[in-house]
Amino acid sequence: MITLDIPTRQREEMLDITDLVRDAIRRSGIRQGIACLHVPHTTSAITINENADRDVVRDLLFGLQRLVPRDAGYHHAEGNSDAHLKSSLLGVDQTLLIESGQPVLGTWQGIYFCEFDGPRRRKLHLRIIAA
């Protein structure tokens, strides 16, 4: 298993980690297979979405904030219930195909680490499996 450190700087942000994941796959030497990505946190997530226009990320965060407001009378006393809900909605796992030593992504797709309760030092686990 490969573990990457992901430092975050804001309470909510989406960090494009596509190059980090590409580099980890390249270093593994696996040419064809799959990469399983896992975030071991309950207030962050991982997703794949457009990386050509930063406004898409801004809109995703805006939409999540509207869908799951920070202060909505939640029962959890720590004040980060919205972060738990957002993590559950987006999910903590992604699986990528690997072809010719590269993750298979669409032209406009990027891999995003989603922070919902930062800033923190986060981890991303990768398991790269040959096919």
What are residue 66's DSSP bridge partners? Answer: none
Helix axes 54-67, 81-90, angle to 10 degrees: 120
Instruction: Determine the topology of domain 2-130 in CATH.
Output: Jelly Rolls (2.60.120)
- The whole-angstrom separation of Cα 27 and Cα 50 is 25
Q: Which residues contact 6 (CB under 8 A, 6 or more apart)?
A: 15, 17, 113, 121, 122, 123, 124
Helix (H) / strand (E) element for 2: namely strand 2-7
- pTM equals 0.94
Q: How high is the mean pLDDT in each 10-residue block of the chain (131 residues)?
A: 97 98 98 98 98 95 95 85 97 98 97 98 98 93
User: How far, in whole angstroms, is CA 8 from its chain's centroid?
Assistant: 12
